Amino acid sequence: MFLVATYVPNSGDKLQRLAFRTEVWDKRLQQYLSSLEEKKPVVWCEDLNVCHLDADIWNHGAKHLEKSAGTTKEERQSFAAGLRDGKFVDCFRQVHGADASGWFSYWSVRAGNLPWNRGLRLDYFVASESLFKESGGGDGPRVVDSRILSDFVAIDHAAIALTLAL
């Protein structure tokens, strides 16, 4: 399999990089991941700077979110488009279900949000859908678990983990 670790560009405080993020970066990265996936399964991970679902935002519905990097409609739709074709899966949601809420990987240090678990899920493992299928011959890796390690927070982000059966 391929392991791709990236830091996805933040759209900026005033969303000055939003168009670059959604129209250039996201599209080129999805093309690259798809080209890799044609050869063998892919796992893409790290700080993807987006909150895909409402459950990934502690205060979803707040009016300021539409103007905040990582929570704009454009970023969320762009991320969802990369999953929609069925090739790639959000590992945490696949393992824990779409209703898993209260699990975040980022907390604002400026606002002191960690003690109250007022966070966002910005860090992901996204994997080829084929890594979730039972392999008849046991001849390849398979996703077993995906976790947010909230006991391991470095300043503002928690570590994330993916367990594979080989």
Clarify whether 60 is annotated catalytic: no
- pTM across the whole model: 0.92
> What are 48's two structure tokens?
């993807």
Look up residue 24 and give its two tokens.
């250039």
Q: Is 96 among the catalytic positions?
A: no
- Each residue's pLDDT, cut to its tens digit, for the chain (166 residues) gives 999 999 999 999 999 999 999 999 999 999 999 999 999 999 999 999 999 999 999 999 999 999 999 999 999 999 999 898 778 999 999 999 977 889 999 999 999 999 999 999 999 999 999 999 765 445 789 999 999 999 999 889 999 999 999 8
Angle at 48 between CA 43 and CA 51, to 5 degrees: 115
Structure tokens that stand for 47 in this block? 């700080």
- Point out the catalytic residue in the list 52, 106, 124, 157: 157
Judge contact between 107 and 114, C-beta under 8 A: yes
Measure the CA–CA gap between 159 and 46, rounded to whole angstroms: 9
Burial class for 72, CB neighbours closer than 10 Å (0-12, 13-18, 19+): buried
Could you count the other beta carbons within 10 Å of the beta carbon of residue 132? 15
Amino acid at 134: E
- pLDDT tens digits for 122-153? 999 999 999 997 654 457 899 999 999 999 99
- Per DSSP, the three-state class of 61 is coil
- Give the separation between CA 162 and CA 146, rounded to whole angstroms: 4
